[in-house]
Structure 1
Amino acid sequence: MAPTIYTQYGVAMVAIFFFIFWCSLWLLHLLAIIYGKFRLHQKPKPQLGDAVPLPGVTILKPLLGIDSNLSSNLETFFKMDYPKYEIMFCIEDDTDPAIMVVKSLMDKYPSVDANLFIGGSCVGVNPKINNLHKAYEAASYEFILISDSGIRMKEDTLQDMMSFMSEGTALVHQMPFTQDREGFAATLEKIYFGTAQSRIYLVADLLRVNCHTGMSGLMRKAALDEEGGLKTFGCYLAEDFFIAKSFKDRKWRIRICSQPALQNSGICEVNMFQARLTRWAKLRMAMLPTIIFFEPLSECMLIGALAAWAVSVLFKWDSLCFYLIHILLWFMCDWLLLSIVQNGTLPFNKFDFVVGWLFRECSGPCLFLHALFNPAIRWRSREFRLAWGGIAEEIKPARVDSYRIHKPYLIN
């Protein structure tokens, strides 16, 4: 008799855990929708006039190869409405075709302070840090914007980011999103970044939890130099997370601005996007091992099934009916959140959203399992192994001559 009582008690406790976890996810949904409506797409705050001029910004752009959108994406940085900034393009290989794209834009906009750095420095295993290090050391201004090659800027984006850089803030970053593009892969990307990613990102910012992704972040250079500069984080692949962590550990604030980052890579394929999500999952598992247990439970299909079982145990409700209602409500909340993040007409219809949403929700747990059982990380042609804590070791080290140092090409 006693074992049966203990078994029933254990089952009830497990059911209570899953039900509470399910409730917490719905609270997260509601917080993301409310906070997103309040936080995103604000107009930049009015400036204080000439008496308080905007500070200068050094923009670091790491480049590797070209795609069909690279030139138009980079051109948006030459056309920003900001009084004082410099752009430093960083290219590791002197045969990279991106060099010609950058030079043509520098010739087209001679009034913009733009420099081209060819060649990197070997300061760690992180290819991005190695590529940026020389330009970082040569930065002229007190604020650094690190922006990935596929990011597209609006004219007032830099103003928007700077308007959130208060005295106690060391990092203002953009929430990841995507530019409107055609095709199923583009739809899938927009759905992911506008629902699953933005839900976590918005609530993390609200609760002041580190959620920095690194694709577009404005940093206070003095705060970064206190830790030894950018090269200090060259031992990590997820340098963005650890840079933000170092700020928070020293009581600096990190914030998102009101404009999401518009990713606009010219190469948009489902398999490449899924490989990217898998790589991010591997990084999260190495940095925060508890993710291995909790992240799969945050997926709609899995937590819905577990919660349906839980309510059948606790309240004797019909589990199938509960599960279907759960999926419908989750779907509707995601549509609402995506509409808030988009702040305009979506580039696809509701049927496309249904197909893309179901594909994302069903494939998410599979990608996580793949990341769990294949921990090695491939970044372009290189492969890395992560230790617990996020420190990376390259499995196949690059040749020494891949870090050739060249004098930068300057026009201003």
Structure 2
Amino acid sequence: MWQLVLAYFIFSWYIILISIGLIGWYGARKRYNLRTNTPPISLPKDPEGVSILRPLRGLDTNMYENLETSFIQNYPTSKFEIIFAVADDSDPCLAVVRSLIEKYPHVNARISLGEHVVGVNPKINNLMDAYRTAKFDIVWVIDSNVSVVPDTLARSVASFSAPTWSGARVGLVHHVPYAIIPDDASNNAFGTHLERAFLNTNHAKMYIALNALAIDSCVMGKSNLFRRSDIDRINASRLPLAQQVSLPSDVRGLAAVAKFAAEDAEIGMAVWHELGLAHVLSADVAANALGSMSLHAYASRRARWIRVRKGTVIAATLLEPLTESLVAGTLAAFALRYLTAGAVSVWMALLVNSLVFLVIDLDVRRVLTGRRFESWSEAGLFVMAYMARELLAFPIWVYAVCGSEIDWRGERYTMLRGGEVRKVQRRGREPALGGRGSYEPLLSSES
């Protein structure tokens, strides 16, 4: 009897997983499939002003082109400003920024130098002065390795007025991230292709699905807009129990999330739980330019994300392998063979499972990127990277859950319960956050 119950339970979970994937696929096709043919949004006579904050550190892949997309938004120049937050006055990124400011003198753009330390999170420390001196209430925080199309700002501001299923006011607008590899021979490391295959398929599909289901906050901090008047009210006091930590009640705004490793997830949680406001995915994407990433760097990056999630939502992290198509498909194949008394072959079920996930994921990639593969060699490389990502997912998870320490821009930290981090060893002079050359957060809200 217990074998029968287990088989039904496993197969039922597999059906739920497939259903969530289909929701993500449908949402991707509905939201992004025709975005390249979408006419420019009609702006009101007096649109709301927006302060665009770009936290910078070092030189990112495609940095000039990424930052330039903020200058060419189809929005009245009197209604937006760009603030580049740079902690060190000797940072090489300043040369890029100054050249862009010189190129677009009609755009209100400036540099905010120095950092205000309010916690362990250097991205928040770097943003504090720019955030406090921003001219407008709506703030758009966008990473330096992200580019957007010219109508993104207009559509995002319009999304604050979008209706929500709960009837709650929109408190945060965000964009699904997808990966691009610039035309650069140095970007041909296999880890880069693994990262692209992951972000443009399974991650994007689940990100869209979870936001469509709107059961809880699911936010990745690549490109987010929120109102400063809202964020200034949060103090992280009403986060879910698994994420609560001791915070002084008088610490509010960005400073309230400065002790967390994943400030993007915590801001999203606070907007959702503490303020009771909704999130909306705009009909635009955040194009994340990938630099060269080795296989080891890719595995380390995935392990770091898992360890951050383990410190934040341990139950979901422990169950995470059951959301992967290979693990879930294998269990479902054995369950189906048992339920059909051997009439269905395990290998046949696994083959069908792999083909179904591959077809769905490849179409999600097509919709997000807006193009099909240009050659069989390009398609073959992507599919090979996709399959390698699937095979590596479980071993990386096993390695990650067996530890709690993370490398965070040259520093060694231990993840604590609730998403906090504690420095355990200083291994270099570089105190930054995230990946190479940027203030990328530790956590993607893929879980």
The two structures share one fold, judged by TM-score above 0.5: yes
Aligned 8 A contact 1:87 1:113 in 2:
yes
- The answer for the alignment partner of 1:191 in structure 2 is 197
- For residues 398 and 247 of structure 1, the distance between their equivalents in structure 2, rounded to whole angstroms, comes to 35
Structure 1 341/308 Cα, relative in aligned 2: closer, same or farther at 3 Å? same
Q: Which moved further from structure 2: 385-394 or 235-244?
A: 385-394
Structure 1 or 2, whichever has the larger Rg, is 1
Q: Does residue 323 in structure 1 map to residue 350 in structure 2? A: yes
Is this contact kept in 2: 1:76–1:153, CA < 8 A?
yes
Q: Which secondary structure state, in structure 1, belongs to the residue aligned with residue 284 of structure 2?
A: coil
CA distance in 1, matches of 2:17, 2:293: 30
Over 3 Å counting, the alpha-carbon distance change for 1:44 and 1:270 in structure 2 is farther
SS of 1:274 mapped into structure 2: helix
Cα 1:271–1:81 change in 2 (3 A) is farther
The residue that corresponds to 1:6 in the other structure is: none
How many percent identity over aligned positions?
28
2:65 aligned counterpart, secondary structure: helix
RMSD (Å) for aligned C-alpha atoms: 2.3
Question: Is contact 1:44–1:163 with CA below 8 Å preserved after alignment?
Answer: no
In structure 2, what is the Cα distance between the partners aligned to 1:66 and 1:143?
27
> Quick check: 2:192–2:290 contact (8 Å CA) kept in 1?
no
Query: Cα distance, 1:396 vs. partner?
Result: 3.4
Residue 151 of structure 1 and its aligned partner are, at CA, apart by 0.5
Distance 2:146 2:326 in 1: 32
Over residues 4-63 of structure 1, what are the superposed CA-to-partner deviations in whole Å (9 max), with x where a residue is unaligned? xxxxx222222222111111111112111112111225437733541xx21111111111
**Cα distance in 1 between the residues matched to 2:271 and 2:408:** 26
3-state SS, counterpart of residue 118 of structure 2: coil
> What is the TM-score normalised by the length of structure 1?
0.89
What runs of 5+ residues in structure 1 fail to find an aligned partner?
1-8, 404-412
In 2, the alpha carbon distance for the partners of 1:269 and 1:261 equals 23
- Is 1:345 the counterpart of 2:372? The answer is yes
Where in structure 2 are there 5+ consecutive unaligned residues?
163-168, 235-251, 433-447
- Structure 1 window deviating more from structure 2 (175-184 vs 143-152): it is 175-184
Question: Are the equivalent residues in 1 in contact too, given 2:116–2:126 (CA < 8 A)?
Answer: yes
Cα separation, 1, equivalents of 2:94 and 2:41: 37
Gap change, CA 1:107 and 1:278, over 3 Å in 2: same
Please give the alpha-carbon distance, in whole angstroms, between the structure 1 residues aligned to 2:302 and 2:402.
15
* 1:82 alignment partner AA: Y
What is the identity, as a one-letter code, of the residue corresponding to 2:194? L
Q: Is residue 2:2 matched to residue 1:16?
A: no
Q: Counterpart of 1:259 in 2: which secondary structure?
A: strand
The residue type equivalent to 1:147 in the other structure is I
Q: Distance in 1 between matches of 2:233 and 2:108?
A: 27
CA–CA distance in structure 2, aligned partners of residues 390 and 46 of structure 1: 39
The structure 2 residue matched to 1:247, chosen from 271, 281, 293, is 271
Q: Does 1:391 align with 2:391?
A: no
In 2, the alpha carbon distance for the partners of 1:400 and 1:122 equals 16
Alignment: residue pair count: 393
Q: Where in structure 2 are the equivalents of 1:55-94 lying within 5 Å?
A: 55-83=48-76, 84-94=79-89
Deviation at 1:225, TM superposition (A): 0.7
Give, in whole Å, the separation in 1 of the partners of 2:340 and 2:381: 36
1:124–1:234 CA contact under 8 A, matched in 2: yes
Q: CA 1:221–1:399 in 2, change beyond 3 Å: closer, same or farther?
A: farther
Cα distance change on mapping 1:398 and 1:125 into 2, 3 Å: farther
Query: Structure 1 residue 261: deviation in Å?
Result: 0.7
How far does the alpha carbon of each residue in 1:304-334 deviate from its partner, in whole angstroms, 9 at most, with x for none?
Answer: 1111111122222322221222112221221
Q: Distance in 2 between matches of 1:270 and 1:347?
A: 25
Q: State which of 208, 219, 242 in structure 1 corresponds to 2:226.
A: 219
TM-superposed CA distance for 1:399, in Å, is 10
List per-residue Cα deviations over 1:146-169 (Å, max 9, x = no partner).
111100121111112112112711
Q: 2:253 maps to what in 1?
A: 229
The equivalent of 1:261 in structure 2 is 286
Change (3 A) 1:49 1:59: closer
User: In structure 2, the residue corresponding to 1:278 is in which secondary structure?
Assistant: helix
| Partner SS for 2:139 | strand
Which of 144, 168, 189 aligns to 1:149? It is 144
* 1:109 partner amino acid: Y
Distance 1:354 1:48 in 2: 41
Query: Aligned with 1:81: secondary structure?
Result: coil
